[in-house]
Chain A
Amino acid sequence: MRTIYLSILFIAFSILLQAQNKDFLYTNVKIHVGTGLIIENGAVGIKDGKIAVVSENGDALKKDYKTVIDGKGQELYPTFIAPNTRLGLEEVEAVRSMRDYREVGHFNPNVRSLIAYNTDSKVTPTIRTNGILLTQVVPEGGRISGQSSILYTEADNWEDATLLADDGIHLRWPNRFHYSGWWAQPGPTKNNKNYDRDLQAIKVYMDAAQAYYKKDVVETKNIKFEAMKGLFEKNKRLFVHVDDARGIMEAVRLLKPYGVDVVIQGGAESWQITKFLKEYKIPVILSNVHSLPKHTDSDIDQPFKTPNILHENGVKFAFSMEGSWNVRNLMFQAGQAIAYGLPKETAVKALTLQTAEILGISQRVGSIEVGKDATFIVSKGDALDMRTSIVTDAYIAGKKVDLSDKQKVLYEKYKEKYELKD
Chain B
Amino acid sequence: MTLNKPILLLLFWSWAAISLAQQTFPKNGVYDQRDGHYAFTNATIQVSPTQQLKKASLLIKKGKVVAVGTNIDIPNDAIQIDLAGKFIYPSFIDLHTAYGMPKPKAAGTRPKQQPQMVSNKKGAYSWNEALKSETRADELFTVNKAKAKEWRNLGFGTVLSHHRDGIARGTSSLVLLGEEREHEMIINNQVAAHYSFGKGTSTQNYPSSRMGAIALLRQTHYDAQWYKANPDDREYNISLEKWLAIESLPQIFEVGNRLDMLRAAKVGKEFGVTYIFRGRGDEYLRLDEIKQTGSAIILPVNFPKPYDVSDPYTTQEVSLTQMKHWELAPTNPAKLAKAGIKFALTTDYLKDKKTFWTQVKQAYKFGLSEEDILKALTTTPAQLIGADKELGTLEQGKIANFIITSHNILADKVTIYHNWVNGKPYALKDINTIDIRGKYELTLEGKKHELEVNGSLLTPDIHLKDPNQKDKKKKGTKLKYTYANGTIAFTIIPKKDTSKKAKTQAIYRLSGNVTAKAWSGNATKANGDWATWSAKRTGDVEIKEPKLPKLDSTVMGKVVYPFAPYGVEKDQLPTAKTVIIQNTTVWTGEKQGKLTNTDVLIQDGKITKIGKKLKAKGATLIDGTNKHLTAGIIDEHSHIAINYGVNEGTQASSAEVRIGDVINSEDVNLYRQLAGGVTMAQLLHGSANPIGGQAALIKFRWGQAPEQMKYEGADGFIKFALGENVKQSNWGDNNRHRFPQTRMGVEQVYEDYFTRAREYEKLRKEKGDKIRRDLELDAVLEILNKKRFITCHSYVQSEITMLMRMAERHGFRINTFTHILEGYKIADKMAKHGAGGSTFSDWWAYKAEVMDAIPYNPKLLNSMNVVIAINSDDAEMGRRLNQEAAKGVKYGGMSEEDAWNMVTLNPAKLLHVDDKVGSIKVGKDADVVLWSDNPLSVYARAEKTFVDGICRFDVEEDKKLRKALQAERSRLIQKMLNKKAAGVKTQPPVHTHKHHYHCGDIENNNFIDYNID
Task: Name B850's closest neighbour in chain A (CB-CB).
Answer: A92
In the complex, the answer to whether B993 meets A386 with C-beta atoms within 8 Å is no
In the complex, the answer to whether A385 meets B939 with C-beta atoms within 8 Å is yes
Interface residues on B, range: 35 or more
Select one of A290, A301, A339 contacting B939, CB under 8 A.
A339
In the complex, the answer to whether B880 meets A184 with C-beta atoms within 8 Å is no
In the complex, the answer to whether B730 meets A245 with C-beta atoms within 8 Å is no
B109 at interface by CB-CB < 8 Å: no
Q: What 0/1 readout, one digit per residue, does chain A (322-345) give for beta carbons within 8 Å of chain B?
A: 001110110010011011100000
**B417-460 interface (Cβ within 8 A of A):** none
* Given known contacts A92-B846, A325-B846, A184 and B642 CB-to-CB distance under 8 angstroms: yes
B321 at interface by CB-CB < 8 Å: yes
In the complex, the answer to whether A386 meets B876 with C-beta atoms within 8 Å is no
A407 at interface by CB-CB < 8 Å: yes
Residues of chain A lying within 8 A (CB to CB) of residue B619: none
A75 at interface by CB-CB < 8 Å: no
Residues of chain B lying within 8 A (CB to CB) of residue A339: 938-941
* Given known contacts A184-B639, A324-B845, A415-B860, A290 and B669 CB-to-CB distance under 8 angstroms: no
- How far is the CB of B212 from the nearest CB of chain A, in Å? 14
Select one of A185, A336, A418 contacting B643, CB under 8 A.
A185
A201 at interface by CB-CB < 8 Å: no
Q: What 0/1 readout, one digit per residue, does chain B (24-40) give for beta carbons within 8 Å of chain A?
A: 00000000000000000
Task: Name A295's closest neighbour in chain B (CB-CB).
Answer: B316
A389 at interface by CB-CB < 8 Å: yes
Rounded to whole angstroms, the CA-CA distance of A328 and B877 in the bound complex is 15
A292 at interface by CB-CB < 8 Å: yes
Residues of chain A lying within 8 A (CB to CB) of residue B896: 387
In the complex, the answer to whether A290 meets B317 with C-beta atoms within 8 Å is no
Residues of chain A lying within 8 A (CB to CB) of residue B124: none
Residues of chain A lying within 8 A (CB to CB) of residue B887: 386
In the complex, the answer to whether A244 meets B313 with C-beta atoms within 8 Å is yes
In the complex, the answer to whether A325 meets B640 with C-beta atoms within 8 Å is no
A369 at interface by CB-CB < 8 Å: no
Task: Name A415's closest neighbour in chain B (CB-CB).
Answer: B860
Task: Name B959's closest neighbour in chain A (CB-CB).
Answer: A299
* Given known contacts A184-B640, A418-B827, A418-B828, A92 and B890 CB-to-CB distance under 8 angstroms: no
A95 at interface by CB-CB < 8 Å: yes
Residues of chain A lying within 8 A (CB to CB) of residue B316: 294-295, 297
Question: Which of B316, B566, B672, B853 lies at the interface centre, i.e. has the most chain A CB atoms within 10 A of its CB?
Answer: B316
In the complex, the answer to whether B564 meets A123 with C-beta atoms within 8 Å is no
- How far is the CB of B698 from the nearest CB of chain A, in Å? 15
Task: Name B932's closest neighbour in chain A (CB-CB).
Answer: A339
- How far is the CB of B866 from the nearest CB of chain A, in Å? 11
A4 at interface by CB-CB < 8 Å: no
**B804-843 interface (Cβ within 8 A of A):** 824-825, 827-828, 842-843
Select one of A190, A272, A340, A414 contacting B991, CB under 8 A.
A190
Select one of B827, B846, B938 contacting A386, CB under 8 A.
B938
In the complex, the answer to whether A189 meets B883 with C-beta atoms within 8 Å is no
Residues of chain A lying within 8 A (CB to CB) of residue B988: 191
Select one of B671, B855, B991 contacting A300, CB under 8 A.
B671
In the complex, the answer to whether A336 meets B876 with C-beta atoms within 8 Å is no
Question: Which of A122, A329, A388 lies at the interface centre, i.e. has the most chain B CB atoms within 10 A of its CB?
Answer: A388
In the complex, the answer to whether B883 meets A386 with C-beta atoms within 8 Å is yes
Number of interface residues of A (CB under 8 A): 62
A384 at interface by CB-CB < 8 Å: yes
Residues of chain A lying within 8 A (CB to CB) of residue B969: 297
* Given known contacts A191-B988, A418-B860, A297 and B320 CB-to-CB distance under 8 angstroms: yes
In the complex, the answer to whether A290 meets B565 with C-beta atoms within 8 Å is no
**A301-360 interface (Cβ within 8 A of B):** 301, 324-326, 328-329, 332, 335-336, 338-340
In the complex, the answer to whether A387 meets B886 with C-beta atoms within 8 Å is yes
Task: Name A92's closest neighbour in chain B (CB-CB).
Answer: B848
Question: Which of A95, A294, A296 lies at the interface centre, i.e. has the most chain B CB atoms within 10 A of its CB?
Answer: A296
Task: Name B210's closest neighbour in chain A (CB-CB).
Answer: A185
Q: What 0/1 readout, one digit per residue, does chain B (968-1000) give for beta carbons within 8 Å of chain A?
A: 010000000000000000001011110000000
A5 at interface by CB-CB < 8 Å: no
Rounded to whole angstroms, the CA-CA distance of A282 and B899 in the bound complex is 42
Rounded to whole angstroms, the CA-CA distance of A252 and B992 in the bound complex is 30
Residues of chain B lying within 8 A (CB to CB) of residue A294: 316
In the complex, the answer to whether B313 meets A246 with C-beta atoms within 8 Å is yes
* Given known contacts A184-B642, A414-B825, A414-B860, A385 and B991 CB-to-CB distance under 8 angstroms: no
Residues of chain B lying within 8 A (CB to CB) of residue A299: 962
Rounded to whole angstroms, the CA-CA distance of A291 and B317 in the bound complex is 18
Q: What 0/1 readout, one digit per residue, does chain A (179-220) give for beta carbons within 8 Å of chain B?
A: 001011111111100000000000000000000000000000
A residues in contact (CB < 8 Å) with B: 91-95, 122-123, 176-177, 181, 183-191, 244-246, 269, 272, 290-297, 299-301, 324-326, 328-329, 332, 335-336, 338-340, 384-390, 407-408, 410-411, 414-415, 418, 420, 422
Nearest 4 interchain pairs by C-beta: A188-B991, A335-B938, A94-B847, A325-B845
Could you jot down 26 A-B contacts, CB within 8 Å? A92-B847, A92-B848, A94-B729, A122-B851, A181-B1010, A185-B642, A185-B643, A188-B1010, A244-B313, A246-B314, A290-B880, A292-B669, A297-B319, A299-B962, A301-B675, A324-B845, A328-B842, A329-B842, A338-B939, A339-B941, A386-B887, A387-B896, A387-B934, A387-B936, A389-B890, A411-B892
B residues in contact (CB < 8 Å) with A: 313-314, 316-317, 319-321, 564-566, 639-640, 642-646, 668-669, 671-672, 675, 724, 729-730, 824-825, 827-828, 842-848, 851-856, 860, 863-864, 875-877, 879-880, 883, 886-887, 889-893, 896, 934, 936-941, 958, 962, 965, 969, 988, 990-993, 1005, 1008, 1010-1011, 1013
Given contacts A91-B845, A92-B848, A294-B316, 15 further A-B contacts (CB under 8 A): A94-B724, A94-B848, A183-B669, A191-B988, A291-B876, A292-B672, A296-B321, A296-B565, A324-B845, A335-B938, A338-B938, A339-B939, A385-B937, A390-B890, A410-B856
